[in-house]
Amino acid sequence: MEFGQFCPIAKATEILGEKWTILILRELLMGSSRFNQLQRGLSLISPAVLTKRLNSLVEYGLVFKTKLPGQKGYEYLPTPSAKELLPIFIDLGNWGMRWTRANLTSLDYDVEFLMLYLQRSIKPENLPGRTTTLRFNFTDFEAQPSWWIVVSGEQVDVCVLDPGKEVDVYFTSTVKCLSDIWMGETTYRKEINAGNLKLAGNRALTKNVSSWLNQCIFAKTTP
């Protein structure tokens, strides 16, 4: 994609304007570095398109591709030029919170994306003990209604199969309800009082979820 202009916005758009490119960079800046991790954060992207976009970003110098020692596959890391995009992406996200929330549809509420970002939002240092297990039951997602997050020390994992551990906190809601709480558009208390969210388990954890489960970084931006 070329615009034939020397304008720096035009040249930047030639690199960033392809579908999926900004979101691939978002995932890299949020800590994803493996191909399968990137696919988790971009569930609708095809492997072929992801490969093509990554190769373009390597060519443009935004991504460093390195072979994993002793393993199959590669690791993808953002270069300094990619890291400079982080404050720009944050500004873009704030703009999106202010002006695009009214355009959301039911198709935008992706349970896998929600669980990935809930995983990233856990604050292990604020959880008691060495292991904490959370179970999420989504009443509007028949294909895979139950998900788990297991926190062991500093390691946080998402499971789609029962890990066989005692559950400390149960969340029961729709995907939209929990997404809206994480995005800061409503609160745990409001949704519990409205009957949209059931929160059960260890009282020390359920009474102040926000102390160990952060909201989205755009949560304070008013739509």
Pair 115, 168 in one domain: yes
pLDDT at site 54: 97
Domain identity same for 76 and 112: no
Asked if 169 contacts 135 with a C-beta cutoff of 8 angstroms, the reply is yes
Whether 221 is covered by a domain: the verdict is no
Domain identity same for 205 and 141: yes
101 lies in a domain?
no
Cβ partners under 8 Å of residue 111, min gap 6: 138, 141, 144, 147, 175
Pair type for strands 131-138 and 74-78: unpaired
pLDDT for position 70: 83
The answer on 58 and 111 residing in a single domain is: no
The closest alpha carbon to 158, from 210, 115, 113, belongs to 115
| CATH number for the domain harbouring residue 190 | 3.30.1050.10
| Domain match, 117 and 74 both | no
One domain for residues 146 and 206: yes
Q: For the chain, what is the domain count?
A: 2
Those residues with Cβ within 8 angstroms of residue 132's Cβ, 6 or more apart along the chain or in another chain: 150, 151, 168, 169, 205
Query: What's the pLDDT at 71?
Result: 84
Q: Provide the whole-model pTM.
A: 0.90
Please list the residues that pair with 157 across neighbouring strands.
Answer: 150
pLDDT of residue 143: 82
Average pLDDT of adjacent 10-residue blocks, the chain of 223 residues: 90 95 97 95 95 97 93 93 97 96 91 95 93 96 91 95 96 97 95 96 94 95 87
Of 202, 200, 204, 184, the residue nearest 192 (C-alpha): 200
Final residue before a domain boundary, out of 51, 84, 117: 84
The confidence score (pLDDT) of residue 223 equals: 82
Among 176, 166, 159, which Cα is nearest to 205's? 166
Q: In this structure, are 67 and 123 located in the same domain?
A: no
Distance in angstroms (rounded) separating the CA atoms of residues 30 and 21: 14
Residue 100 falls inside a structural domain? no
Whether 65 is in a domain gets the answer yes
Containing domain of residue 158, as a range? 106-211
pLDDT tens digits for range 169-191: 999 999 999 999 999 999 999 99
CATH number, domain with residue 18 = 1.10.10.10
Residue 118 sits in the same domain as residue 204: yes
